């Protein structure tokens, strides 16, 4: 939406329109026309203009809040499609093709709002720029999906669907209840954390019929699963997310709590790390970066630390179920990294992974 707003402002400047602090956008999904703020738009010379917006995604989604969006618009010569999109700095591209990673909704939104304003016979070129996109992409799992150099523009609708939203928990619990009520439902479940886990799990041999996607409300989902009759549950997720469970944090959106550096450092100390090693782990930008650097410096310690993290997750999950009066269940953990590599399983998780793979 913010990309489309900046593009609409840039096109207006290209056509000599006076600047307005908002543009009217047709959102498509959900339908409707709404005013969307823009910060600036100006011509940059003959046949060239720039529009700027600033993301305001609302409560509960922080990664893109305040993200500046630039769109450079220009008229293109010759024949060809009326709209040509080019990724600029900070926009994620598919590693295999170099093409900008845009969802179908993002393209339709641009086309619906720009096509009526482009004169017949003219071709519009847009260069998309997210000045801070490359840095922010390091906090995502984009690389695991083959998207490099920046943030992917992968929205599917104008309204934010937040993983920390109580409605998201309700949807997950409803899906769990439906799964357990289905004929032939057994006591096995693989709780995958996020889209990346949902995509990767079948590739590692986990049966699709056992998979249930979870958001950030992991604690209530664990209790509900045990109460619904799940006896064997494998947590399958990104190591930088699931490490929070090792610290007893069972709602994993960091607006509530984010003690990843502290958990990582404490577990490393229990494995014998000291001094500068602990300082480096605590000061790393991400858990991923911390573990990667430790693996370079001390592979054996890195392996032991990963194993301790997975075991601590399993232990905390058992304690969480007990503290909430839920029936006991075998809860295992399997952790992957941003390169889509399965890095470690806990003692329970290793057995569950083999059991579930053998069921295919």
Position with higher pLDDT, 255 vs 282: 282
- Does position 155 have pLDDT exceeding 60, yes or no? no
Position with higher pLDDT, 311 vs 175: 311
Q: In degrees rounded to 5, what are phi and psi of residue 242? A: -70, -15
Buried b (16+ CB within 10 A) or exposed e, 99-127: ebbbeebbeebbeebbeeebeeeebbbbb
Lowest pLDDT segment from 80-84, 144-148, 216-220, 275-279: 144-148
pLDDT of residue 64: 82
Give CA–CA dist 229/346, Å, rounded: 22
pLDDT of residue 196: 76
pLDDT band at 292; cut points 50, 70, 90:
very high
pLDDT of residue 140: 74
Average pLDDT on 6-34 reads: 90
pLDDT of residue 223: 93
CA-closest candidate to residue 235, choices 257, 254, 250, 253: 250
pLDDT of residue 231: 94
Domains in the chain, please, with CATH? 2-151 (3.30.2110.10), 166-358 (no CATH)
Q: What is the pTM of this model?
A: 0.64
pLDDT in tens, 303-331: 999 999 999 999 999 999 999 999 999 99
pLDDT of residue 42: 95
- Does position 164 have pLDDT exceeding 70, yes or no? no
pLDDT in tens, 76-133: 998 999 999 999 999 998 888 888 888 888 899 999 999 999 998 999 999 999 999 9
pLDDT of residue 163: 42
- Does position 15 have pLDDT exceeding 90, yes or no? yes
Average pLDDT on 274-291 reads: 92
Who contacts 273 (Cβ-Cβ below 8 Å, separation ≥6)? 281, 301, 305
pLDDT of residue 138: 79
Q: Strands, DSSP E only, in 176-225?
A: 188-193, 211-214
pLDDT in tens, 22-50: 999 998 867 788 999 999 999 998 889 99
- Does position 205 have pLDDT exceeding 60, yes or no? yes
Instruction: Please provide the average confidence, as pLDDT, over all residues in the chain.
Output: 88
pLDDT of residue 28: 81
Position with higher pLDDT, 219 vs 338: 219
Lowest pLDDT segment from 24-33, 141-150, 187-196, 226-235: 141-150
CB burial class (10 A; 0-12, 13-18, 19+) of residue 315? middle
pLDDT of residue 156: 44
- Does position 360 have pLDDT exceeding 80, yes or no? no
Who contacts 30 (Cβ-Cβ below 8 Å, separation ≥6)? 157, 158, 159
Largest CA distance in the chain: 71
pLDDT of residue 87: 92
Give CA–CA dist 314/329, Å, rounded: 11
pLDDT band at 154; cut points 50, 70, 90:
low
Give CA–CA dist 214/175, Å, rounded: 10
pLDDT of residue 45: 85
Read off the tokens for 211.
Answer: 């998979």
- Does position 21 have pLDDT exceeding 90, yes or no? yes
pLDDT of residue 6: 96
- Does position 224 have pLDDT exceeding 70, yes or no? yes
Average pLDDT on 340-357 reads: 93
Average pLDDT on 269-274 reads: 94
């Amino acid at each position: 939406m913010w990309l489309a707003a900046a593009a609409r402002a840039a096109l207006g400047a290209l056509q000599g329109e006076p600047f307005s602090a908002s543009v009217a956008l047709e959102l498509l999904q959900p339908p409707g026309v709404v005013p969307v703020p823009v910060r600036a738009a100006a011509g940059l010379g003959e046949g060239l203009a720039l529009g700027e917006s600033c993301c305001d995604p609302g409560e509960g989604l922080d990664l893109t809040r305040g993200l500046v969006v630039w769109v450079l618009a220009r008229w293109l010569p010759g024949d060809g499609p009326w709209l040509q999109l080019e990724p600029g700095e900070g926009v994620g591209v598919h590693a295999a093709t170099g093409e900008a990673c845009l969802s179908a909704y993002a393209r339709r939104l641009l086309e619906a709002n720009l096509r009526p304003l482009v004169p017949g016979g003219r071709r519009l070129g847009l260069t998309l720029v997210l000045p801070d996109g490359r840095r922010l992409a390091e906090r995502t799992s984009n690389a695991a999906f083959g998207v490099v150099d920046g943030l992917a523009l992968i929205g599917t609708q104008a309204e934010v669907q937040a993983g920390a939203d109580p409605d998201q928990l309700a949807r997950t619990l409803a899906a769990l209840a439906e799964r357990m009520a289905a004929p032939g439902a057994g006591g096995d479940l693989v709780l995958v954390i996020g889209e990346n886990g949902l995509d990767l799990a079948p590739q590692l041999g986990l049966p699709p019929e056992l998979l249930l996607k979870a958001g950030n409300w992991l604690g209530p989902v664990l209790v509900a699963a045990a109460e619904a009759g799940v006896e064997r549950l494998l947590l399958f997720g990104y190591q930088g997310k699931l490490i929070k469970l090792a610290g007893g944090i069972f709602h994993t959106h960091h607006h509530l709590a984010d003690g990843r550096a502290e958990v990582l450092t404490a577990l490393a100390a229990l494995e014998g790390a000291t001094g500068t090693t602990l300082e480096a782990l605590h000061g790393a930008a991400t858990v991923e970066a911390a573990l990667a650097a430790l693996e370079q410096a001390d592979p054996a310690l890195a392996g032991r630390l990963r194993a301790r993290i997975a075991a601590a997750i399993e232990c905390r999950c058992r304690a969480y179920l007990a503290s909430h009066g839920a029936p006991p269940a075998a809860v295992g953990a399997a952790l992957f990294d941003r390169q889509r590599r399965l890095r470690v399983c806990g003692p329970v998780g290793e057995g569950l992974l083999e059991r579930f793979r053998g069921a295919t």
